Amino acid sequence: MSAQPLLEIENLQTYFHTDEGTTKAVDDVSFGLKAGRTLGLVGESGSGKSVTSLSVMQLLPEFVSSIEGQSKISFLGKDLVRLPRDEMRALRGNDVAMIFQEPGTALNPVYRVGEQVAEAIRLHHGASKQEALDRTIALFEEVGIPDPSRRIMSYPHEMSGGQKQRVMIAMALSCDPKLLIADEPTTALDVTIQKQILDLLAKLQLERNMGVLFITHDLGVIAEIADEVAVMFRGKLLEYGPVEEIFANPKHGYTRGLLACRPRLEMDWRRLPTVSDFVEVETDDEGTVTISERDEKIAQDDPRYTRGRGRLLHPIAELKELETVHDASKLDELCGDDVHFAEGEPLLEVKGLKVWFPIKKGILRRTVDHVKAVDGISFNVYEGQTLGLVGESGCGKTTTGRAMIRLQEKTEGTVRFRGKDVHELAGDDLKAFRRDVQIIFQDPYGSLNPRMSVGAALREAMEIHGIGSGLEDRNKRAAKLLEEVGLLPEHLTRYPHEFSGGQRQRIGIARALAVEPKLIICDESVSALDVSVQAQVLNLLKDLQEQRGLTYVFISHDLSVVKFISDMMVVMNAGKIMEQGPSDAVYASPKEEYTQRLISAIPDGGLELVKERVAARKKARAEASS
């Protein structure tokens, strides 16, 4: 394989100019990428990694952005910064292609997916309509979309998240690019779908000898796919080198922080390290960022990460009925030294719950079948406990959560909260239930009213349920809530668009706490967050549970996150429960092949795995070149 320099970035400075001053989004960044190689560009939101990719594609917003100084972006010898617009337009989508982070918004909702892919082929290759269509069908087959001849006629809303991402990959590959930029292509996807996408990209890269610039916030994903790694923070390049070297001996504290803050299945810590444990950041009046490293060495028994209560499990008799634990004396080995057992009646009981959606056909719209989203599941949640509900998209976990709080009507079965049937409640009883049980949604931006300030959103919940004696008292309560979730009282007057994703999720938590609930359902509440912000939110949820005696139902597709935060775990697939038991026991000895597959799909990020991946890529390239 050729070691031809494909992309070379030298001293890149991309600035944004606003009324509030100049933001140095990318500040003197240099790195290179060869054909047939993958460079992982990693960092938190706001680190400048996506702005770097948009600088390469020359897709920066006009009037407010500029590429400064002696910045150079060389693609096969062409300086893209100074390339005429017409030439750049011919290059973009043809030789240089991009997969965007959110396929749902990148695809046009009013056009069929096949038409959108064929358009690029006709534009850049001058192909006829039929030639472009045939090429699109071949591409859909190549990226693993089933029944491609039929699926090219689908609209984006008719496809799953993984299928839409495959459409975006097909579109990016449609003109045989030499450089593929993948900007967070697996964020918020199920771990199994994520693994399929990563394997697919690696396969296509090898077959086409493409250079891939892979952008992500997760070093675990980088371990799976990258040859070299560039670590960015606040517009600066902090570390750059071979992936094996970065994982074996990270030189910068920020890199060590990113590696440490992701929950791993084998860890038994009760809290997660955060980036702030490794670096301290200061910004002066002129916007200059100073990053100071802390001399941080984490020990396995570090009290900062081992403090807190142990697992709160179901009563012994109930555990034996679940057939996950037959010998209670072994629970100490599985769940740590501090194992507690719930007493009394469950706070929440789900028995034989079914939620079926009718499939109607014909002029008379008769019901011909049902989609069995939830199909006869049963489990209990005890006061002060965290129950994790885990499975892939479409398994029924979110529908279960919505049925538990009557946002979705049941088809059959019962949901009891404190002994009362939730679906039979009315009047004051229903209002009291709405106060006692709250939900934190996956998308904090979509769940907050953009026209309401944070203070108004928090006060509204209090007013509805008669909490607080008046406006002044509610403002004090709202300010205290923000401080409790790690924000400032002055944030009360701001609006949702003025916050980062992690801050908006904290506001969502504060709003749920505003009515002093007993049970909170966390529906994929950390799935789209940076791993560093995810660690902060998970720690916050644990702290609030300890301080307020809260009970959680934690819904997620990521078994490593569920195992970290949950006492008990329920694994769902196709509307049914595959297995349930103490989270540590389910991980240590999964009975079902489905659970084993979920575990094996999680990016490990361990050094031994990195070495295996590097060796496998070298072997595959050698075989391809021979």
Confidence of residue 346 (pLDDT cuts 50, 70, 90): very high
Give the Cα separation of 211 and 36 in Å (integer).
5
pLDDT for the residue 2: 46
Tokens read off for 444: 């904090």
Tokens read off for 581: 């038991």
pLDDT for the residue 537: 84
Name the region of 575 (left: φ>0; alpha: ψ -120 to 50; beta: rest). left
Q: What is the DSSP string of 301-356?
A: T-HHHH-S---EEPPHHHHHHHTS-S-GGGHHHHH-S--EE--SS-SEEEEEEEEE
Element (H, E) at 414: strand 412-417
Give the Cα separation of 266 and 282 in Å (integer).
34
Confidence of residue 334 (pLDDT cuts 50, 70, 90): low
pLDDT for the residue 38: 92
Instruction: Given CATH 3.40.50.300, say whether it is the number of domain 312-601.
Output: yes
Residue 525 has pLDDT above 60, yes or no: yes
Q: Between 292 and 289, where is the model more confident?
A: 292
Q: Is 29 helix (H, G, I), strand (E, B) or coil?
A: strand
Start-end of H helices in 143-269: 148-151, 161-173, 191-208, 219-225, 243-248, 253-260
Instruction: Identify whether the C-beta of residue 231 lies closer than 8 Å to the C-beta of residue 246.
Output: yes
Residue 260 has pLDDT above 50, yes or no: yes
Q: Which residue, 340, 259, 217, 308, is CA-closest to 565?
A: 308
Buried b / exposed e across 132-147, counting CB within 10 Å, b at 16+? Answer: bbebbbebbebbbbee
Average pLDDT score over residue span 260-286: 80
Confidence of residue 115 (pLDDT cuts 50, 70, 90): very high
Instruction: Identify whether the C-beta of residue 223 lies closer than 8 Å to the C-beta of residue 243.
Output: yes
Confidence of residue 272 (pLDDT cuts 50, 70, 90): confident
Residue 68 has pLDDT above 90, yes or no: no
Rg (CA), the chain: 26
Q: What is the DSSP string of 288-314?
A: -EEEEE------TT-HHHH-S---EEP
Q: Between 158 and 569, where is the model more confident?
A: 569
Range from 116-125, 160-169, 181-190, 308-317 that averages highest in pLDDT: 116-125
Q: Is 16 helix (H, G, I), strand (E, B) or coil?
A: strand
Average pLDDT score over residue span 507-519: 90
pLDDT for the residue 186: 79
Average pLDDT score over residue span 588-604: 84
Q: Domain locations in the chain?
A: 1-95+199-251, 96-176, 252-307, 312-601
Tens-place pLDDT, residues 417-443: 999 999 999 998 999 999 999 998 877
Asked if the domains at 1-95+199-251 and 312-601 fall in one CATH topology, the answer is: yes
Of 263-267, 409-413, 484-488, minimum mean pLDDT range? 263-267
Instruction: Identify whether the C-beta of residue 222 lies closer than 8 Å to the C-beta of residue 186.
Output: no
| Beta strands 38-42; 228-233: pairing state | parallel
Instruction: Identify whether the C-beta of residue 403 lies closer than 8 Å to the C-beta of residue 409.
Output: yes
Instruction: Identify whether the C-beta of residue 347 lies closer than 8 Å to the C-beta of residue 553.
Output: no
Confidence of residue 526 (pLDDT cuts 50, 70, 90): confident
Q: Which residue has the tokens 């109607």?
A: 360
Element (H, E) at 576: strand 576-582
Give the Cα separation of 528 and 546 in Å (integer).
25
Give the Cα separation of 261 and 605 in Å (integer).
12
Residue 508 has pLDDT above 60, yes or no: yes
Tokens read off for 516: 């002093």
pLDDT for the residue 207: 85
Residue 329 has pLDDT above 80, yes or no: no
pLDDT for the residue 296: 65
Average pLDDT score over residue span 329-351: 78
Other C-beta atoms closer than 10 Å to the C-beta of 123 total 16
Residue 235 has pLDDT above 50, yes or no: yes
| Beta strands 21-34; 386-390: pairing state | unpaired
Of 85-89, 367-371, 473-477, 569-573, minimum mean pLDDT range? 367-371
Residue 378 has pLDDT above 60, yes or no: yes
Average pLDDT score over residue span 522-551: 85
Residues 6+ apart with CB under 8 A from 177: 93, 94, 95, 96, 97, 210
Of 63-67, 70-74, 103-107, 293-297, minimum mean pLDDT range? 293-297
Q: Between 551 and 525, where is the model more confident?
A: 551
At the topology level, CATH places domain 1-95+199-251 in Rossmann fold (3.40.50)
Give me the residues paired with residue 214 across strands.
Answer: 40, 182
Buried b / exposed e across 490-504, counting CB within 10 Å, b at 16+? Answer: ebbebebeebebbbb
pLDDT for the residue 299: 67
Tokens read off for 151: 């699926």
Residue 516 exposed, middle or buried by CB count within 10 Å (0-12, 13-18, 19+): middle
Confidence of residue 530 (pLDDT cuts 50, 70, 90): confident
Query: Average pLDDT of the chain?
Result: 86
Residue 601 has pLDDT above 50, yes or no: yes
